[in-house]
Copies of this chain bind each other. A is one copy, B any other.
């Protein structure tokens, strides 16, 4: 197996364990001591460098409103120290967000994330774009009374 292939498998496992299943402590095996959010418009942690405790806190807080969230990986592209992941995402809006109380309705999103690896194959950060306008439009629509 090549390094590229191994990294893709490792990244897919990180997404499943930490972000899909919500096992924040599984980050111990995947995330470096310093994790840099280089670019992530709309993310409350955009621009920050997180230690492992901070990373786990971000996982728990991000997932609170969407406890059954699932990433559907569309593509994985390995080059140099990075793997790019394109993805679809779906979740039940099960917890409150500022201005958007929980509705129990499904929300969908898509995005692309560049993950960086260090020499020990741990994640050192990401550069991400998500279609957050699409999410807001769905949250607003879900909040509107049924006609």
Contacts and interface: CB of A to CB of B under 8 A. Distances in A.
A80 B79 contact: no
Interface string A56-90: 00000000000000000011111110101010000
A127 interface: yes
Count the copies: 2
A74 B130 CA distance: 16
A84 B110 contact: no
A75 to B, nearest CB: 6
Given A77-B79, A78-B79, A86 B110 contact: no
Given A77-B77, A79-B4, A112 B131 contact: no
Given A79-B4, A79-B77, A84-B84, A129 B114 contact: no
Contacts of A127: 74-75, 86
Given A84-B86, A86-B129, 14 more contacts: A42-B131, A42-B133, A75-B114, A75-B127, A77-B79, A77-B80, A78-B79, A79-B79, A84-B112, A84-B114, A86-B112, A112-B129, A129-B130, A131-B132
